Amino acid sequence: MERKVALITGVTGQDGSYLSEFLIEKGYDVHGIIRRSSVDYRERIAHLEGHPQFHLHYADMGDSMSLVKVIGKVQPTEIYNLAAQSHVQVSFDSPEFTADVDATGVLRVLEAVRANHLEQTCRIYQASTSELYGKVEEVPQNEKTPFHPYSPYAVAKLYGFWIIKEYREAYNMFCCSGILFNHESERRGETFVTRKITLAAARIAQGKQDKLYLGNLSSLRDWGYAKDYVECMWLILQHDTPEDFVIATGVQHSVREFCQYAFRAAGIEVEFKGEGMDEKGYDVKTGKCIIEVSPDFYRPTDVVNLWGDPTKARKELGWDPQKTTFEELVSIMVKHDMQKVAADHVASVMRTNLAEYLEKGLVK
């Protein structure tokens, strides 16, 4: 029987967790790379730990030898290189670390595959990004649109894109980039704009937070559902020839619109008034200001007009860009966060009660 062994870097991340579930379901043995952390609980993959098809190994994208060793031990047939410092704003604060992980890290994976003589048997997926289009030169963007990276993150990812292409041509390796537009979910990191909004909407609706502070409300994104996008990563590696693909929904919304949809799903109608830094969002029912703009969330250079054209992926991979619509995505995220905020509240009341009972000697 054909060996199906996948190695995922970035397995603890949003995409790594969904991809692990997807590949286990397809019958793969899934190996993930984790790095040492002072906190051992890995929230997104906790439910997979102990599964007979799921295995974890310590390694780091900054440590070549650790990558050579793990690839040699696992002998993967497919590698999904998802590990990255993935926050664009953070890349302005830690540009060198971002370059080391997001650019040189890709080279380390490719060289580790070659060092283990797996270059003709192991297919490699690189997590590339719509941030490459940056200060966009064309709308919507497709595989032929010129790149114009506009952050240290995007510049690092551009190196990753080109080194993958270089190894494909120089060594005839099956390595490809998925140029993925923003994809979100209930597992999205809490400082990315969509999750920040859905959590705030849930907290404000339940009286746990007064206001949400955001940066550029006019920024436009093509937001899809992460669970749908991991299928495409796999489809790209099953294709006859190694090629790069744009993965997007083909639908664009602003941060402001995302707020309105999310707060509506949480039961609050929002109306925006004012302009620029003075723009504010008001709860239509109470007249209370619940959204404000803060300069803290503006970037030195911001990508403001991302809109993907997924025609190639639809035609050549048979992938459905509209499997989950924008409205469904927002609804999934808000529903999840409404439950999370309510559950956090119950847990905190129970902790307070227990502390009080212990203090009074009512429970031993």
Round to whole Å and give the CA distance between 275 and 280.
8
Q: Is 129 in the site for ligand NAP (CB under 6 A)?
A: yes
| Other beta carbons less than 10 A from residue 3's beta carbon | 10
Q: How far is the CB of 63 from ligand NAP (least distance, A)?
A: 8
Q: Within 114-133, which residues bind ligand G4F (CB under 6 A)?
A: 129-131
Amino acid at 327: E
Which listed residue (198, 216, 249, 252) binds ligand G4F by CB under 6 A?
Answer: 216
129 in catalytic set: yes
CB-based burial, 36-70: b 16+ in 10 Å, e otherwise: eeeeeebebbeebeeeebbbbbebbbeebebbbbb
Q: How many CB atoms lie within 10 A of CB 209?
A: 15
Q: Which two tokens stand for residue 235?
A: 């489809």
- Inter-CA distances, 287 with 269, 272, 280, Å: 10, 11, 11
Q: Helix, strand or coil for residue 216? A: coil
Site stretch for ligand G4F (CB under 6 A), options 19-27, 69-77, 141-149, 212-220: 212-220
Q: Give the shortest CB-9-to-ligand NAP separation in angstroms.
A: 6
Among 64, 77, 85, 324, binds ligand NAP (CB under 6 A): 85
DSSP, collapsed to helix, strand or coil, labels residue 215 as coil
Residue 62 near which of ligand G4F, ligand NAP, none (CB within 5-8 Å, type-dependent): ligand NAP
Active-site residue 131, yes or no? yes
Binding of residue 198 to ligand G4F (CB under 6 A): no
Print the binding letters for residues 179-198 with ligand NAP: x by CB under 6 A, - otherwise.
-x-xx-----x---------
109 binds ligand NAP per the rule CB under 6 A: no
Among 5, 6, 7, 15, binds ligand NAP (CB under 6 A): 15
Among 123, 187, 221, 256, binds ligand G4F (CB under 6 A): 221
Q: Which 3 state secondary structure label does DSSP give 101? A: helix
13 lies in the binding site for ligand NAP (CB under 6 A): yes
**78's tokens:** 């497919």
Identify residue 36 by its one-letter amino acid code. Answer: R
- Determine the 3-state secondary structure of 78 from DSSP: strand
The answer to the question of residue 86 lying near ligand NAP (CB under 6 A) is: yes
Is 58 marked active-site? no
Say if CB 306 and CB 136 are below 8 A apart: yes
Q: Which of 77, 129, 145, 194 is catalytic?
A: 129
The alpha-helical segments, DSSP class H, found in the chain are 14-25, 64-74, 88-93, 95-99, 105-115, 152-171, 193-205, 226-238, 255-265, 311-317, 326-359
User: Does 158 contact ligand G4F by CB under 6 A?
Assistant: no
Reading the block at residue 139, the tokens are 């709308």
Q: State the binding partner of 255 from ligand NAP, ligand G4F, none, CB within 5 to 8 A by kind.
A: ligand G4F
Determine if 72 is a binding residue for ligand NAP (CB under 6 A). Answer: no
Site for ligand G4F, rule CB under 6 A: 86, 88-89, 129-131, 181-182, 191-193, 196, 214-216, 219, 221, 255, 297, 299, 302-303, 306
Active site residues: 129, 131, 153
Site for ligand NAP, rule CB under 6 A: 9-16, 33, 35, 37, 60-62, 82-86, 101, 127, 129, 180, 182-183, 189
